[in-house]
Amino acid sequence: MSQPPAAQQHPQVVVLDTGGQYCHLITRKIRELGVYSEIRPSETPASELRGVKGIVISGGPASVYEDGSPQVDPAIFELDCAVLGICYGQQLLAWHLGGTVQKGSKGEYGLAYLDTRAEAPIFRGIGGRQQIWMSHRDTVTEVPAGYEVLGSTETCAIAAMGHSAKRHYGVQFHPEVVHTERGRQLLSNFLFDVCACEQDWNPRDQALRIEEEIRRVAGDRNVFFFVSGGVDSTVAFTLCLRALGESRVRALYVDTGLMRDGETEFVTRVFASLGRDIFAVEHAQERFLSALAGVREPEKKRHIIGELFVQVQQDILESGHYLDENWVLGQGTIYPDTIESGGTAKADLIKTHHNRVAGIQKLISENRLVEPLHLLYKDEVREVGHELGLPPELLSRHPFPGPGLAIRCLCEDAVRPVERLDEGWLAPLHSVGVQGDSRSYRPVLLLDSPPSTPGIHHRATDLINRLPGINRVASLAGSHAPVESLTTTVAYISATRLDRLRAADSLVRSLCHASGYDDKVWQFPVIIVPLGTPERPDSIVLRPIDSVDGMTAQSVPMPLPLLTEMTNALLAQQGICAVLYDLTHKPPGTIEWE
């Protein structure tokens, strides 16, 4: 298939960005199906969209009936092209064309089941009951005149609607995420049956394109990388190495003291295999631990780490010759980093990433940053890594957050007991979530039923949908003390707690590797929380999840023998009172707790 450069292509499908966390994911899924697509602001005039074959209106965190909410040019509905509204996009479609949108009696987050009620081209070959992924509270309660209801769930009476003659469709769920089991086919039906698109885009073989882009951005300048040793930064560095040669690329790894057990040694081995005299280690443990002393709030932690990274970078750059015009900074930033940091025009801030803080924004404004992977998602980065011949032990690694163990070490500033509720125990711990495309920071509901209880994941989803004050549900896998006696303690990041977390994380990874369980999950965060007793003040949270790109994630059950062995081993560690098992999907919970 011949393919002109993207800059010369005209998109067959345009995605209008209304601030949804999955906006870029929609575009990526369309490109995966072989159709070139671009993102535009939601208010793009209809006159600028003439000639496209399809328009997709993304989801978003706002309510269509509120002042200042993202809107579209109503004239787009008169264009000779197909329209698909997703989540907020369906609500916007209904709102502009005379339907009714209201706040639902309860939210619907995570897994749900759609029953199609009418035949339509968009559901060709995928009728009947099917698993979908929801993230909303507002809902369409009356379709516009001439439109019909195409599908519903137990909670949402109008989960899909359409007008086949106008080629207008809306779905309340998210077909672009992997957990909507027939979402890819729905998008394919929209592209090829409804829009009559032709394949004009090949999403594979990205390495050569990216290397050309690196040479264009870098020009005759050299590139200096602060690498983490994860998949993203290593692939980005290797691409620059191939594009520019060993003499023009350097890497430095900052040991923040927030790393996993054995991490620095592993990273050193990987980069030693890539070339000679291209890699060094900066030991900065004391600087980071001192800066984080007494800090509880997750966003403040991220800002401190991000800004300190920039300060450390600045010190290193000034100590060498990297500040002159011959050098630029390289990073392994990927799409989700910018999306969840409010990276699209109207996206709500879910959590600040260390590579999108003010210091990095300054480098961007000075045109001194190269981010080879900024258009790719994690699975695509791994594919590029395979193209480059990087070792499987690196490419198969579970993702690890840039701020390190700091955001897996929860802190509290007061002693608070758990509170008994009809549905469980309200733990006085707060975690970050994403509900209706917006950030939440709410307490955790603790169930004293074990994680192996039949139907417990479904129960957790239902509880989060019904109870507005929580965003996460965890199950008690084992404890030295009765659940009613657990309290939070005043606790911050310290060497003792980090060592405790490192030991727990190392144990979990070892057991998962030995059992083969790590091949069954996409990521397995291990979190320490200050919940316990005076003698054993901390507890460990297990968070095994399945995902493709980190935009959505599903909590994964663990085989009972492995869970039992892991729980007993963790409870034997000093200072650990209980082991909790996170049952929460994303949404409504983020993958990390902070």
Question: What is the enclosing helix (H) or strand (E) of 335?
Answer: helix 335-339
The rounded percent of the chain whose pLDDT value lies above 70 is 93
* Residue 388 dihedral angles phi and psi, to the nearest 5°: -80, -10
User: With 60 as the cut, is the pLDDT of residue 568 above it?
Assistant: yes
Confidence of residue 558 (pLDDT cuts 50, 70, 90): very high
* pLDDT value of residue 72: 96
Range of weakest confidence among 111-125, 215-229, 276-290, 386-400: 386-400
Confidence of residue 377 (pLDDT cuts 50, 70, 90): confident
User: With 70 as the cut, is the pLDDT of residue 566 above it?
Assistant: yes
Query: What is the C-alpha to C-alpha distance for residues 90 and 506, in angstroms, rounded to an integer?
Result: 45
Strand runs labelled E in 318-403 = 327-330, 369-370
pLDDT, one tens digit per residue, over 77-99 is 999 999 999 999 999 999 999 99
265 catalytic, yes or no?
Answer: no
CB atoms within 10 A of CB 357: 20
User: With 90 as the cut, is the pLDDT of residue 340 above it?
Assistant: no
Query: What is the C-alpha to C-alpha distance for residues 384 and 519, in angstroms, rounded to an integer?
Result: 20
Question: Looking at the domain that runs over 9-194, which CATH code has it been given?
Answer: 3.40.50.880
Structure tokens at 564: 């039992």
Determine the 3-state secondary structure of 365 from DSSP: helix
CATH class entry, domain 409-582: alpha beta
For the chain, where do the domains classified as CATH 3.30.300.10 start and end?
409-582
Maximum C-alpha span of the chain: 70
195 catalytic, yes or no?
Answer: no
pLDDT, one tens digit per residue, over 248-273 is 999 999 999 999 999 999 999 999 99
176 catalytic, yes or no?
Answer: yes
pLDDT, one tens digit per residue, over 484-520 is 999 999 999 999 999 999 999 999 999 999 999 999 9
522-to-161, 294, 376, 514 alpha-carbon distances in Å:
34, 32, 17, 16
Range of weakest confidence among 47-51, 99-103, 125-129, 546-550: 546-550
* pLDDT value of residue 353: 57
Q: What is the 3 state secondary structure string of 556-590?
A: CCCCHHHHHHHHHHHHCCCCEEEEEEECCCECCEC
User: With 60 as the cut, is the pLDDT of residue 8 above it?
Assistant: no
Confidence of residue 22 (pLDDT cuts 50, 70, 90): confident
Segments in 343-411 forming alpha helices (H): 358-365, 378-388, 392-395
Average pLDDT, the chain: 90
Q: Which of 87, 197, 411, 512 is catalytic?
A: 87
CA contacts within 13 A on the Cβ side of 518 = 18
For the chain, where do the domains classified as CATH 3.40.50.620 start and end?
207-403
pLDDT, one tens digit per residue, over 575-589 is 999 999 999 999 889
Confidence of residue 301 (pLDDT cuts 50, 70, 90): very high
pLDDT, one tens digit per residue, over 463-478 is 998 998 999 999 999 9
- The whole-model pTM stands at 0.71
* pLDDT value of residue 356: 52
* pLDDT value of residue 506: 97
* pLDDT value of residue 1: 33
- Strands 438-447 and 472-479, bridge-based pairing: parallel
Q: Is 332 left (phi over 0), alpha (psi -120 to 50) or beta?
A: alpha
Q: Specify whether the CB–CB gap between 207 and 239 falls below 8 A.
A: yes
Average pLDDT over residues 426-444: 87
Percent helix, strand and coil across the chain, each to the nearest 5? 35, 25, 40
Query: What is the C-alpha to C-alpha distance for residues 179 and 301, in angstroms, rounded to an integer?
Result: 31
Q: Which of 136, 163, 174, 430 is catalytic?
A: 174
Q: Which of 176, 380, 383, 592 is catalytic?
A: 176
207-403 topology per CATH: Rossmann fold (3.40.50)
For the chain, where do the domains classified as CATH 3.40.50.880 start and end?
9-194
